[in-house]
Amino acid sequence: MVKTVIAKAHTNIALVKYWGKKDARLMLPQNGSISLTLDHFYTQTSVAFDPKLKNDQIYFDDHLIPAGKATRMTKFLDLIRQQSGQTAPAIVKTANHVPTSAGLASSASGFAALAAAGSRAAGLNLSPTELSRLARRGSGSATRSVFGGFVEWHAGHDDASSYAEPLQDPIDWDIQMIAVVLQATKKPISSTAGMARVVATSPYYSAWVKTAHRDLARMRKAILKKDLNAVGRIAETNAMRMHALNLSADPAFNYFTPDTLTAIKVVQDLRANGINCYYTLDAGPNVKIICASTDTAAIMAAFKPYFAADQLIVAKPGPGITITEA
């Protein structure tokens, strides 16, 4: 009997970023990272291994992906087959409730969900740590989407030592993000290609790794103290240093648009007027505002002259991965 397993994984936004790999095959990062899992954005994926199939069939939002464009997911399924001894092709159906490839961590939730549903459908019963290590092989940041709340990814030095674990979940204090969705289109250079260029060509990369290590220690303390201002300041500075690396690469590149700069300016003006909010950006144009829920109305009002209401999405801390059998 063919077993179908469904997994739901939420996106995470890094507060201390990883930007660069020391092992591309194993997806080992140059530095560790800390993130916040969000409730609003998620991926739901079902997987069934069926010996009657001739090859993997992968559907994205009800559309069959041509084999040539599904290589990354097929290779990940091969990894699951190697670990489990499963030999049958799989049918995969994915629904993404995240703008794809726009810096809102769609690959993180996507590969976390695929890892969970695929491994269980193949007969594996992985621990959260084992699942985190597996998800990492699909997308580095997916290692964090296995868990809810604040999550730390330990860089490690090999496959066994590179995994994520929760720092604080559930979160019992007032912190949230408002996503400013500026461009729900494919970004000009992928995260994988961008970080590889930075590692190879930026003269400042070694300094980034050192400061990222310091940011990790500072961020852990800020979370432990439930200090939103410290969390925001560290995250904002860390994000801008990451984007400065992109400008120092050869050739230089960036993910900003004019609207990105407008959103950053609005946040800076709000803070100058006493609203405690901070911005962060991943590899894309979208700005995420770190703030307390009590300041939502003031922030929304400040953004209203520049952006449509549906471009501003409030996201609370989100849960870890869930797995069910159909």
Determine whether 297 is exposed, middle or buried from the number of CB atoms within 10 Å of its CB (0-12, 13-18, 19+).
exposed
Say what the pTM is: 0.95
C-alpha 155/C-alpha 158 separation (Å) is 9
- 13 and 79, same domain (yes or no): yes
Q: Do 165 and 181 lie in a common domain? A: no
How many domains in the chain?
Answer: 2
Q: What is the pLDDT of residue 182?
A: 87
Write out the residue range of the structural domain in which residue 147 sits. Answer: 4-170+318-325
First to last CA, the chain: 12
Residues 23 and 152 in one domain: yes
Q: Quote the pLDDT of residue 67.
A: 86
Residues 247 and 165 in one domain: no
Strands 57-60 and 90-97: parallel
42 and 147 together in one domain: yes
SS3 of 295, please? helix
Q: Where are the alpha helices (DSSP H) in the chain?
A: 71-84, 106-121, 128-136, 191-201, 205-224, 228-247, 258-272, 296-303
Predicted local confidence at residue 118, as pLDDT: 98
Do 26 and 101 belong together in one domain?
yes
Do 186 and 306 share a structural domain? yes
What was the pLDDT predicted at 183?
65
Q: How far apart are CA 78 and CA 122, in angstroms?
A: 11
Per-10-residue mean pLDDT of the chain, 326 residues long, equals 95 97 97 97 97 96 92 97 98 85 72 98 98 97 98 98 98 97 76 95 98 98 98 98 98 95 98 98 94 98 96 96 95
Q: Which residues contact 204 (CB under 8 A, 6 or more apart)?
A: 244, 245, 248
In this structure, are residues 8 and 322 in contact, taking their beta carbons and an 8 Å threshold? yes
Let me know whether 137 and 81 are in one domain.
Answer: yes
Check residue 187 and give its pLDDT: 75
Note whether 266 and 182 are same-domain residues. Answer: yes
- 305 backbone dihedrals φ, ψ, rounded to 5°: -65, -15
Which sign does the torsion angle of CA 323, 108, 98, 230 carry?
positive
CATH code for the domain of 76: 3.30.230.10
Q: Which helix (H) or strand (E) holds 287?
A: strand 287-291
28 and 126 co-located in one domain: yes
> Is 181 found in the same domain as 166?
no
Please report, for the domain that includes residue 303, its CATH number: 3.30.70.890
Q: Which pLDDT score, from 0 to 100, does residue 101 have?
A: 46
> In Å, how far are 82, 86, 200, 288 from 285, measured between CA atoms?
37, 40, 23, 10
User: Same structural domain for residues 186 and 160?
Assistant: no
